Amino acid sequence: MTPLNKRIAILVEQQYQELELWYPYYRLKEAGAKVSLVGPKLQSYPSKLGYPAKAEKAIDDVSADDFDAIVIPGGFCPDYLRRSPKVIALVAAIAGAGKPTAAICHGPWVLCSTTVLKGKRATSFGSIKDDLTNAGAIWEDAETVVDGNILTSRTPDDLPAFMAAFLKMLG
C-alpha cells in the first residue's frame, strides 16, 4: 500500500470525545499521513472522561497552507474551539481552499461558525440539527454526508464509515 502523503490537522480542546479524536488520529497515521493535534495553546487537553491529548501545534503557529485536510472531533470541545477566532479562520481557510474538511458528532458546530455550510448537505449529532440548519445546511440523518469537500457524520458508531469516506476524499 502506498503511504498517504498528506498533512492532516485534528483539532483538540477540552471535553473532546475520545473515539472521535483517537480513531481518526491513529487510522490516518496507519495510512501514512503526517497528523498533528492542533489546539488553541500548546498544552494538554482532557477528554470528556479525563484522557489527555497534548496539542502538538498551537493555533498561533499554523496556517491553512500547513495542512492538506482537517478533522474536527465531537464531544463538547467544538463549543470551546469555536470561541477562538483563529480556529474559525483556520477551518474557514482550509474548507474555503477546497481541502477535505471533516467533522463528526458535535464537530459541525465549528463549521456553523464559518460560512462553509451554506447550501451544503450535512449531518451531525441530532441535538445540533437546528444549528446546522440555521447555518444554511440541508441536514440529513445519515451515517456520513459528503458534499464537495465537506464530510460530516453523526456519532462514534459512524466512525468506520466516516474514516472510509475521509480516506477516499484524501485519495
Q: In total, how many domains does the chain have?
A: 1
Instruction: Report the pLDDT value the prediction gives residue 3, as an integer from 0 to 100.
Output: 77
Please choose, from the candidates 136, 68, 148, 67, the residue with its C-alpha nearest in 3D space to the C-alpha of residue 108: 136
Instruction: Give catalytic residue positions.
Output: 106
Residue 137 lies in a domain: yes
Phi, psi of 34 (to 5 degrees): -95, 110
pLDDT score for 145: 98
Query: Grid cell 453523526 — which residue?
Result: 154
Q: Is residue 67 part of a domain?
A: yes
Q: What is the predicted pLDDT for the residue at 1?
A: 57
Q: Is residue 2 part of a domain?
A: no
Structural domain harbouring 24:
7-170
Cα(146)–Cα(71) distance, rounded to whole angstroms? 14
* Domain assignment of residue 107, yes or no: yes
Asked if residue 164 belongs to a domain, the reply is yes
- Below-70 pLDDT ranges, the chain: 1
Instruction: Give a yes or no: residue 126 inside a domain.
Output: yes
**Is residue 66 a part of any domain in this protein?**
yes
Q: What is the pLDDT of residue 167?
A: 97
pLDDT at res. 125: 98
CATH code: domain of residue 15: 3.40.50.880
Cell of 13: 480542546
1 domain residue, yes or no = no
The single residue listed with the C-alpha cell 503511504 is 3
**CA torsion sign, 77 to 164 to 4 to 101?**
negative
- Position 110 scores a pLDDT of 98
- Cell numbers for 60: 498561533
